[in-house]
């Protein structure tokens, strides 16, 4: 199960590859963030934005998760452009059930 809700039939090969890679990150949290972003935005991104998305995707998943959740500050190079748009697709990562004993 990829999680994608988007058909890749109508998009070009580069966008198909990026869409697949967004949903197959290795860390499910980043699948959910990048995958949701790609489902919604991939068809309308410019070539420059696709280049930027690929640069972001080249970063380590552990770093990306920490930047998206605010655990670590986002590096200057990603504070503008696509990264804030991607981070806006962050679901609620809090636990479903909190232990009242903690």
Query: pLDDT tens digit string along 13-23?
Result: 999 999 999 99
36-80 residue pLDDT tens: 999 999 999 999 999 999 999 999 999 999 999 899 999 999 999
Q: Which CATH class is domain 13-88?
A: mainly alpha
3-state secondary structure of 72: coil
How far is the CA of 80 from the CAs of 29, 45, 49, 89, 94, in angstroms?
22, 15, 12, 16, 26
pTM (two decimals): 0.81
CA distance 76 to 97: 35
């Amino acid at each position: 199960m990829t999680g994608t809700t988007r058909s890749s039939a109508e998009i070009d090969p580069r966008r198909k590859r990026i869409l697949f890679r967004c949903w197959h990150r290795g860390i499910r949290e980043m699948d959910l963030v990048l995958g949701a972003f790609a489902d919604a935005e991939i068809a309308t991104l410019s070539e420059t934005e696709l280049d930027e998305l690929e640069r972001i995707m080249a970063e380590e998943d552990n770093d990306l998760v920490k930047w998206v959740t605010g655990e670590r500050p986002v590096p200057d190079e990603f504070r503008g452009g696509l990264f804030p748009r991607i981070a806006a697709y962050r679901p609620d990562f809090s636990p479903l059930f909190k232990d009242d004993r903690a």
